[in-house]
Structure 1
Amino acid sequence: MIMVAFLTLILLIPLAFVNELIRERSTRQQEVISEINDKWGESVYFYGPILKVPYTVFEETLSINQKTNETFKQQKAITKYAYFFPEDLKAKSNVITKVLNRNNYESVVYSSKMNFNGQYIQPDFSSKNISPDVIQWNKATILIKTTNLKSIKDEVKINLGGTKFTFEPVYSTNLNDSTQALETGFIDLKNILKADKTNFNFDITYNGSKQIKMVPIGKITQLKMQSNWTSPSFTGNFLPDDKTKKISDNGFEANWKILHINRAFPQQFFENLPDLGTYAFGVDFIIPVDQYQQNERASKYGFLVIGLTFLIFFLIQSISKIKIHIFQYSMIGLALILFYTLLISITEHSSFTKAYFIAAIAVITLISLYSVSILKQRKFPMFIAAALTGLYTFIYVIIQLENYALLVGSIGLFGILAAVMYFSRKIDWNK
């Protein structure tokens, strides 16, 4: 018993090497994914469109004439900016995902066509007591902040009040700002915003990966997103409407409606435009449990598999009085370790389920045939084959489960303990 227990602990060393191999391959996969995503397009963050209106403020300074010692006032004109968000903002996004492969690794990427439309109202400067005379109405622009300029596939133009304006990239001198900007040329608001509400609309097409997020800057913000991705992870500060959300084998459809009273920022800012990324919402396009995560979860049960398999052989040895040499235990343990190297190597060229099935059959067959020569009978090897089949099936079910893995695992271990207690009840441990 001492030697078998010691051997079990010794086998944790090659099992640790297997875990390290899985982590190494997983790290390599992340590097390849980052490289693929960098070339195709990173995650999309959208913050706009924002009406940017310049205005002039005058600062007075006191100066002294050195010859006469007289004090006089000087006025300096400084241009500042006010930022106004849309009254209504409606967005539609059609996201088509696909898996890109490089060697044995894969990454989920997407192409997204987004349509935005809404309304602006007349900018109101009264809250800051700014005179209409100092507002530079003819030098207003529209601003969009994003994180993925290089993956925009078409020219971006906005139709505001029946007139089209083209967005151009803006160089940012703020190194701490991770976003990039698109901005139109000058817009004469006196000619454009003639009505109480002025409509706008524009399209933008992205290549991206991992995620789409946007900031709800409209007084009423609505987003409708459709995709062929079957495992969406809704993220951010707001979740879609459960009543209209649909997820099926063909993809998903989700709808958001966010009011200005649902977020803690106003409809206009003066002087500085803050980063409101903490209020963004959207969808993550990721593989929920990839092949390396599944392999890592399987290897965590390695100690359990080795321990229970040795326990089965030890009980058979105790009941049948057949002697099993420690070398034979070692061969069985190495076969169990080999299961995980087979699993990860086959998974990289196939699916995890198929790899698990092939590796399990190979190891169960190897140990069963080896036990025929050890135990000299057919009933014990058949029992071992059935026990290992049940054990590997039990572990596979746990790996596939997410929310109920702990519950099923606990119940299964309780059943295994009960079975061991039942079969060992007649063994006389005093002999």
Structure 2
Amino acid sequence: MLKHPLFTKLAALAAITVLLLFGLGLVEDVVRDRQRYRSLTAQSVADSLAGPQTLMGPMIHSACVESWDEEVGKGDERRMVEKRREFILTAMPEQLKLTTGAAMEERARGLHKVNTYKLKSHITAQWGSLASLLPRSTLKNSRMHCGAPLLMMAVGDARGIRTAQLVLGDQALPLKPGTFHPTYSRGLHAALPESVRGKADGLTATLDLELVGTERLSIVPLGGNTEVLMTSSWPHPSFAGRFLPSEREVSPEGFSARWHLSSLATTAQAAIANGSRICTGGYDDASTQGEYAPGGTTPRDCADSFSVAFVDPVNPYTLSDRATKYGVLFIALTFVAVGLFELMQKLRVHPVQYLLVGSALCSFFLLLVSLSEHLPFSISYAVAASACVLLLAYYASHMLGGLRRGVPLGAGIAVLYGLLYVLLQLEQTALVVGSMALFLVLAAVMVLTRKVNWYGLSKSPRAATAQAVAA
């Protein structure tokens, strides 16, 4: 091995690379830990304030019981036993219009911030015939008993309800907590007079609701025709669920979105009437959870809904995690650049010097995640990158024997940091930009080393001297 110093150095560089990869892994663990802490912070805020909210309703329901007498037994043991069937009658609105505005309120736990919102909604629901609230016997001579019709509005987390006012026609009705629905229990309700049951000309109800929640709002399109208008000062909405807005405007001052949905396009009415779950995960997920969905619920078990998430696009931990994934490429390209200087300028760089250069590159990612907890991500990136570039340029000037060699190396590393920042800002085109940049780097290395005698580099110094004497 000592007879071939090139192989010895390559082995040392390989060991150094493995050591640096271990260091990058530790940095990634730190980023994941901070992400977990942020998730715990969001959960803590939700536990103290209110979680993600879901609006479902208004709708009218009435709990009914059908009972009948049935003879059981034989001979002298025959007797009459009362049997019963419990069921729920529901009336869905034919027209549902919801106008809502979301005012953002930032909450913090230590260093971590969570987006919460205060929702002010005006909901108008119109019913046609209420014949669906009339109970129908399934057996002859059975007895029917139904509770009072209840107009209910279900929410994801009832702790978030601040104020609510209900007007039925021209009459204000008192609202009470809970829905008395076996599936959608959280929310509010108002008892309706028995006279509305089977009413042919229908009725109209308006509900003004003030609600607070955390990070996401979901809505179930329960009307025969559902129209939703949502506005907010938050400039980074993420629309999800089964339906995207038919119209939307997003600007730095906020967003406005409108949904127009028909019952011909959604099975929400039938799903809610059958007690289906309300889920908040993606429709294509293998399993999903929500306010009314236990773990393991599949998308087929869920009623249709759509949602808006008030996301922070500059999540420092997400961006830091993406940046750390490029750490191996940074180390490789920097080692290639130092190796080229060593090769083209006939220099000798010790493996320890490679280790120090790689350690400086690794420290960048740790600086980035720590600074981004206190400063905006762009400023944190600029500070961390500038510090590492200046340090590496200064060290390279001594390692490579002068400013003429150290400054170009520092400039090259600065270009790498600039390229990485661009890649972090891109989402759809990050792969193509990164691939093109890597190809250009490879092309430059091939052009610069096109005349290098690689076999000559692998000869021992004694063999090279003997060959020179013989020549």
TM-score by length of 1: 0.90
Quick check: 1:253 aligned with 2:290? no
What one-letter code is carried by the residue in structure 1 that aligns with 2:239? F
In structure 2, the residue matched to 1:161 is: 169
In structure 2, the residue matched to 1:14 is: 23
What one-letter code is carried by the residue in structure 1 that aligns with 2:57? G
Separation (CA, whole Å) in 1 of partners of 2:275 and 2:216: 24
Q: Residues 303-343 of structure 1: CA distance to partner in whole angstroms, max 9, x if unpaired? A: 11111111111110111111111111111111111111211
1:91–1:115 contact (8 Å) kept in structure 2: yes
Which runs of structure 2 are paired with 1:14-413 in the superposition (5 Å)?
14-63=23-72, 69=76, 80-125=87-132, 129-130=136-137, 139-154=148-163, 156-170=164-178, 180-185=186-191, 187-190=192-195, 196-241=201-246, 244-264=247-267, 266=269, 273-277=275-279, 278=302, 279-413=304-438
Taking a change above 3 Å as real, the CA distance of residues 273 and 161 of structure 1, as seen in their structure-2 partners, is farther
CA-CA distance at 1:394 after TM superposition: 0.7
Q: Residues 119-140 of structure 1: CA distance to partner in whole angstroms, max 9, x if unpaired? A: 1122224998559x97768821
CA-CA distance at 1:63 after TM superposition: 4.3
Corresponding residue SS for 1:252:
strand
What one-letter code is carried by the residue in structure 2 that aligns with 1:210? E
What one-letter code is carried by the residue in structure 2 that aligns with 1:182? L
Separation (CA, whole Å) in 2 of partners of 1:2 and 1:64: 90
CA-CA distance at 1:173 after TM superposition: 10
1:84–1:268 contact (8 Å) kept in structure 2: no
CA-CA distance at 1:52 after TM superposition: 1.1
Corresponding residue SS for 1:262:
coil
Separation (CA, whole Å) in 2 of partners of 1:88 and 1:189: 22
Separation (CA, whole Å) in 1 of partners of 2:398 and 2:445: 24
Q: Residues 36-81 of structure 1: CA distance to partner in whole angstroms, max 9, x if unpaired? A: 2322221111111111134452323104697xx3856565566642
1:57–1:78 contact (8 Å) kept in structure 2: yes
CA-CA distance at 1:164 after TM superposition: 2.2
Separation (CA, whole Å) in 2 of partners of 1:164 and 1:178: 24
Taking a change above 3 Å as real, the CA distance of residues 135 and 83 of structure 1, as seen in their structure-2 partners, is farther
Identity rate of aligned residues, in percent?
27
What one-letter code is carried by the residue in structure 2 that aligns with 1:239? L
Taking a change above 3 Å as real, the CA distance of residues 168 and 221 of structure 1, as seen in their structure-2 partners, is same
CA-CA distance at 1:348 after TM superposition: 1.1
What one-letter code is carried by the residue in structure 2 that aligns with 1:246? E
Q: Residues 241-300 of structure 1: CA distance to partner in whole angstroms, max 9, x if unpaired? A: 0xx310101111000111111112556987x64435430112111223510111111111
Taking a change above 3 Å as real, the CA distance of residues 136 and 369 of structure 1, as seen in their structure-2 partners, is same
Corresponding residue SS for 2:57:
strand
Separation (CA, whole Å) in 2 of partners of 1:114 and 1:384: 59
1:92–1:114 contact (8 Å) kept in structure 2: yes
Taking a change above 3 Å as real, the CA distance of residues 127 and 374 of structure 1, as seen in their structure-2 partners, is same
1:84–1:267 contact (8 Å) kept in structure 2: no
CA-CA distance at 1:189 after TM superposition: 4.0
CA-CA distance at 1:99 after TM superposition: 2.4
Separation (CA, whole Å) in 2 of partners of 1:276 and 1:388: 51
2:131–2:199 contact (8 Å) kept in structure 1: no
Corresponding residue SS for 1:343:
helix
Separation (CA, whole Å) in 1 of partners of 2:172 and 2:152: 14
Separation (CA, whole Å) in 2 of partners of 1:128 and 1:261: 26
Separation (CA, whole Å) in 2 of partners of 1:199 and 1:338: 64
Taking a change above 3 Å as real, the CA distance of residues 130 and 220 of structure 1, as seen in their structure-2 partners, is farther
Corresponding residue SS for 2:131:
coil
2:130–2:197 contact (8 Å) kept in structure 1: no
The answer to which of 293-302 and 48-57 deviates more is 48-57
1:51–1:143 contact (8 Å) kept in structure 2: yes
Taking a change above 3 Å as real, the CA distance of residues 316 and 163 of structure 1, as seen in their structure-2 partners, is same
Over aligned residues, Cα RMSD in angstroms?
2.7
Separation (CA, whole Å) in 1 of partners of 2:256 and 2:206: 22
What one-letter code is carried by the residue in structure 2 that aligns with 1:245? R
1:87–1:121 contact (8 Å) kept in structure 2: yes
1:120–1:199 contact (8 Å) kept in structure 2: yes
In structure 2, the residue matched to 1:415 is: 440
What one-letter code is carried by the residue in structure 2 that aligns with 1:339? F
Separation (CA, whole Å) in 2 of partners of 1:306 and 1:403: 25
What one-letter code is carried by the residue in structure 2 that aligns with 1:319? M
Unpaired segments ≥5 residues, structure 1: none
TM-score by length of 2: 0.82
Unpaired segments ≥5 residues, structure 2: 1-9, 280-301, 457-471
Separation (CA, whole Å) in 2 of partners of 1:45 and 1:262: 20
Q: Residues 174-197 of structure 1: CA distance to partner in whole angstroms, max 9, x if unpaired? A: 7xx585242223x22426886613
Taking a change above 3 Å as real, the CA distance of residues 122 and 276 of structure 1, as seen in their structure-2 partners, is farther
What one-letter code is carried by the residue in structure 1 that aligns with 2:266? R
Taking a change above 3 Å as real, the CA distance of residues 395 and 79 of structure 1, as seen in their structure-2 partners, is closer
Q: Residues 359-392 of structure 1: CA distance to partner in whole angstroms, max 9, x if unpaired? A: 1111111111111112222221121011101111
